Amino acid sequence: MTQTGINGAPAKSPPKLPTWLGLLLADKFATVAVIFLCLVAIAALIGPALLDGVASKVAFRGRNLAPFQLDHGWLMILGSDSLGRPILARIIVAAQNTMMIAAFTVVAASCIGAALGLVAGYSRKFLSDAILRLADVIMSFPSLLLAVIVLYMLEPAVGNLVIVLAITRIPVYLRTTRAEVLEIRERMFVQAAKVMGASSWRIAFVHILPMVLPTLLTIATLDFAFVMLAESSLSFLGIGIQPPEVTWGLMVAQGRPYMNQAWWLSFWPGLFIVLTAMSLNLVSNWLRIVLDPTQRWRLEKRRETTNG
């Protein structure tokens, strides 16, 4: 009873922008992760326009050049591939497809999943059950295999890849949203809105959705990493992106036959996958703490001690 002000801290509104920055700087790992992700995003946005020519220029004399040599210019710092193309340039160019596929997938899956979850959590039993069973069917199906089968029957283009990956990820958002909605709709402020005569639409979008968003944001960040890994696996198996298009996963696959002579062909793109996924994980963890009022003091306290 006495400690409610301390342990059961009342729910707070999310922090404002300058506070966000402060809270980010309080977590050094998250700061580094955000900087890295910004670099990747920049590479994805302008990389292909800048480096497309360099990245696809075949030079048979410079095949499988070892990394860490500056004799052939800084683009060769990570070595060259089996066609003599600079690996660094190819990684930067490939960032676009890799990021784009993951981003579209996550946006599509989270929007559809959240919408279905809201409906499932807020509608009558029959519809809710039907939606849940659908999610069960999708989930009981091996997601990678679903992708393999569908992409084998359809054409493995970027669009189809996004659709297939998005379908396999919808249940995650659906279930999370539904579970949260079921909990939030029983809260008193939702009941109060009902007593005032608020429409279901109003309750779902004005009262419930804003409460679910932080959770969805956290999951989406984490899921971005998951989707990126899934796309890489598909491309690695040869049923994702097809050459001459390129993603990091495909680069790893293309380096596989040369593994024994030139390990760097597979190593570098794989390392970028790891680093990006790790950064996303870090940011997701940080978000989870920032958006949870009972946890946020940890960052605020850390910030205090570093400042003062």
List the interface residues with another protein, window 198-227 (CB under 8 A).
Answer: 198-199, 202, 207, 210-211, 225
Q: In terms of CB distance, is 51 or 248 closer to another protein?
A: 248
Nearer to another protein, 54 or 277 (CB): 277
Binding residue (CB under 8 A) for another protein from 179, 270, 291, 292? 270
Q: Which is nearer to another protein, 75 or 253 (CB)?
A: 253
Q: How far is the CB of 61 from another protein (least distance, A)?
A: 26
Site map (CB under 8 A) of another protein, residues 106-145, x = contact? ---------------------------x--xx--xxx-xx
Q: What is the nearest approach in angstroms of another protein to the Cβ of residue 207?
A: 6
| Whether the Cβ atoms of residue 79 and residue 62 lie closer than 8 Å to each other | no
The alpha carbon of 255 is separated from its chain's Cα centroid by a whole number of angstroms, namely 25
Q: Do the Cβ atoms of 113 and 171 come closer than 8 Å? A: yes
Of 34-42, 71-79, 99-107, 194-202, which part binds another protein (CB under 8 A)? 194-202
Exposed, middle or buried: residue 251 (CB in 10 Å: 0-12, 13-18, 19+)? buried
Q: How far is the CB of 57 from another protein (least distance, A)?
A: 26
Footprint on residues 230-259 left by another protein (CB under 8 A): 232-233, 236-237, 249, 252-253, 255-256, 259
Are the CB atoms for 283 and 221 separated by under 8 Å?
Answer: yes
Closest CA to 115 of 185, 173, 186: 173
Q: In this complex, which beta carbon is closest to another protein, that of residue 90 or of residue 296?
A: 296
CA distance 222 to 172: 11
Nearest of 174, 150, 142, 138 to residue 240 by alpha carbon? 150
Comparing CA positions, the residue from 93, 83, 34 lying closest to residue 60 is: 83
The CA distance from 276 to 150, in Å, is 27
Q: By the 8 A CB rule, do 285 and 27 touch?
A: no
Residue 89: CB minimum distance to another protein, A = 20
Residue among 48, 217, 281, 292 that touches another protein (CB under 8 A):
281
Surface-to-core class of residue 17, CB atoms within 10 Å of its CB (0-12 exposed, 13-18 middle, 19+ buried): exposed
- Cα–Cα distance, 203 to 195 (Å, whole number): 11
* CB of 50 or CB of 157, closer to another protein: 157
Q: How far is the CB of 308 from another protein (least distance, A)?
A: 11
Give whichever of 49 and 153 is closer to another protein, judged by the CB atom: 153
Instruction: Name the residue nearer to another protein (CB basis): 59 or 259.
Output: 259
Total number of residues that touch another protein (CB under 8 A) = 71
CA 56 remoteness from chain centre: 28
Could you say which DSSP state residue 56 is in? Answer: T
Among 103, 277, 291, 292, binds another protein (CB under 8 A): 277
- The contact mask relative to another protein for 154-193 (x = CB under 8 A, - = no) is x--------------------------------xxx-xxx
